[in-house]
Structure formats: structure tokens, C-alpha cells
Chains A and B, each alone.
Chain A
Amino acid sequence: MTDRITLRVTRYRPESETEPTAQEYEIPLRKEWAILDGLNHIKDHLDGTLSYRWSCRMGVCGSCGMTVNGEPKLTCATFLEDYAPGPIRVEPLSNFPVVRDLVVDIGDFMRKLPQIKPWLIRSEQEPPAENEYPQLPAEREEYERFSMCINCMLCYAACPVYGLDQEFLGPAAIALAQRYNLDSRDQGASERMDVLSAAEGIWACTFVGECSAVCPKDVDPAGAIQRYKFTAAMESLKTLLLPRGAR
């Protein structure tokens, strides 16, 4: 078995190129190396000009999302060996503007994120009597899955709806809204409703499900969106059928 593998890495240097190009690097194929280790080897030993984002190397920071052989992946959790004998294509995440090489601009998501108010909202401002809001394990389970999101943007890169229409609020933002809506300590669901149930919110989703398929933290944004569709549809029915006082 060969002990080397080729990474075909997309390069884009906006100061000298108008289009991205592919550049091949041969690196050692080691059992314990993830794609990110391969990129770090290139950066340290072969070509110091290669640009990419990374930080924690352990699937927590959400920085190292890239497209590996056409699929959105966390490169710190995707191993070279699984793609042997190669070559392995490493490209920037789809659906985002490329800043340089493998670095994408996620400003669109960062602008959308505060719209869904991803924090605990209380209707009264006084702190609770015991200085904490007690929560049962069952109540915690309601939202725990959606709280695992690391904002890695793999779901946006995989979402065909977001690819066609960047106005779509998107999987991670909606899942995060549900993380707070379903938290027993939160009272802000009505404040998030306008943004979520807009045409560019949940209703733009056509339940392709790729977001949940690629999510490295098993958040299931598609499930969060479908669940909220039902909530929003019931609210609309109530608005239509019930008199104002009974809603």
C-alpha cells in the first residue's frame, strides 16, 4: 500500500486570479491524519501561502468546514485513509462567496443570526426567587439536540434551497431559534415568530433533508424546521378561527 496521497486543493488568490484553480500536493498518508492534518502539513512544509480556517482540531469550533470530494465535511473529523488511494478534492464550502483559497465569507449567516434572537428571553426582568431557573431533565431534552450546533455552515453548504435563494433564513439559524423556543426557561417564542414564519423563513424549506444528513453534531435542522412548520400552521389556524381574546 502506498504511504502517500494527493490532495487536489482549490486555490483562489483574488489579487492575481479571476477564477479558482486546482493545485495538487502529495502528502504522507498516515492512519491517524485527518484532512486538516494534511492541510497543515502542506502549510508547514510545502506551501505556506495556502489559506484555510481551523482552530480546535476536535469538532467543537466549527471553523474547518470544507467540501471534501464534493461533500461538506469538518476536515478535522474526516480522515485521509477513508479516501485512499485518492486523489482527494478539497474545495471551499459551496453557497458562500470565497474570500481566498478555502476561506469563505459567512457574513450572510452572521447577519441572519441575531434576527432569530438566539438568547433566553424573559417577559419579566426580575431574577427568580432562587436566583436560578430550575429545569427538569425532560425539559432539557426538549431542546438539547438543537443546542449542539457549532455554526460550522455545513448545512448551508448542503442546502439546495439556500443555494438557489440566499434570502432563505437557513437550517442552522432556524434550528437555533428552536433551541430557545423549546427551552422551558424562555418566553420569547412570539418575538421570534415573525422572522421564522416569513416566506424566507421556514416556508422556504422544501424538506430535502441534506442539512440533517451532513450535520456533524447530529442537530437535525430539517426536523427542527418541520416541527416549527406545524407550530406556525397551528398559530395561523388559531388566528383565522378563534376570536382575538381566545388566541
Chain B
Amino acid sequence: MEPFLWLLFSAGGVLSALLIPALLLLFGLAFPLGWVSPPDHAHLSAVLGQPVTRVVLLGLCVLALFHWAHRFRYTLYDGLQLKHLGRPINLFCYGAALAGSAVASYLLLAAW
């Protein structure tokens, strides 16, 4: 199981490091501060209307959540030295990532 969890962690780390700073820079600074003229609502809506955009965003959400789960699990294991509580920690971390992935899927795919 560990190799697959690590692959999710690894992929999540790479994807988050590539995409999240760019998204934050655009939507958190560049658009609100007027450095770049923001796309209008209709334009953004059309971009999000593309299934490809939503699948990419879902991939980013799911992998970022599993990246968090893996890292937080080891923070609890080694940082707080709670390795003896391995099973509940695993259930909490990966369970939360699964639940978050389900919510992201609902918001991005079903509720559109």
C-alpha cells in the first residue's frame, strides 16, 4: 500500500508546487490588484464549462489532498510521536483526503 500512497503524495507535491503558486498569484494578487486585467465572468465561466478544466482542477484537488494526508500522517507519527496510534491516524488522514476528494468531485462534476 505504501508505494501507492507515496506515488499520490509525490504526484500531489509536484502538481501543487507547479499549479497552486500560479493560481494564487493570478487570482490572489494579479487580478484583485489590477496588475493584469481580469477575465470577465462569462469568459471564466466558459473556461470552467470545459470538462478538461474541471478534470484538471479535480486532479489537482485530489492529489493535493493525498499529499496533505501523507505528510500530516508522518507529522503525527514522528513529529508528535504518535506512531502507536497508526490505525486511527491512517483512517483520519486518508479518510479526510477521500472525503475531500468526494466533495471536490461533487462540486466540480456533479453539481455543475
> Which residues of A come within 8 Å of B, CB atoms?
160-161, 164-165, 197, 199, 203, 206, 229-230, 232-233, 235-237
Contacts and interface: CB of A to CB of B under 8 A. Distances in A.
A232 B4 CA distance: 10
B2 A203 contact: yes
A105 to B, nearest CB: 24
Contacts, number: 29
A53 to B, nearest CB: 30
Contacts of A233: 3-4, 6-7, 10
Interface size class of B (residues with CB under 8 A): 10 to 19
A203 B1 CA distance: 11
Nearest to A199: B2
A160 B2 CA distance: 20
A229 B3 CA distance: 8
B78 A236 contact: no
B50 interface: no
Contacts of B10: 229-230, 233
A237 B3 contact: yes
A197 B2 CA distance: 10
A237 B2 contact: no
A37 B2 CA distance: 47
A236 B4 contact: yes
A206 B83 CA distance: 13
Contacts of B6: 203, 229, 233
29 contacts: A160-B78, A161-B78, A164-B78, A164-B81, A164-B83, A165-B83, A197-B3, A199-B2, A203-B2, A203-B3, A203-B6, A206-B74, A206-B78, A229-B3, A229-B6, A229-B10, A230-B10, A232-B3, A233-B3, A233-B4, A233-B6, A233-B7, A233-B10, A235-B3, A236-B3, A236-B4, A237-B3, A237-B4, A237-B7
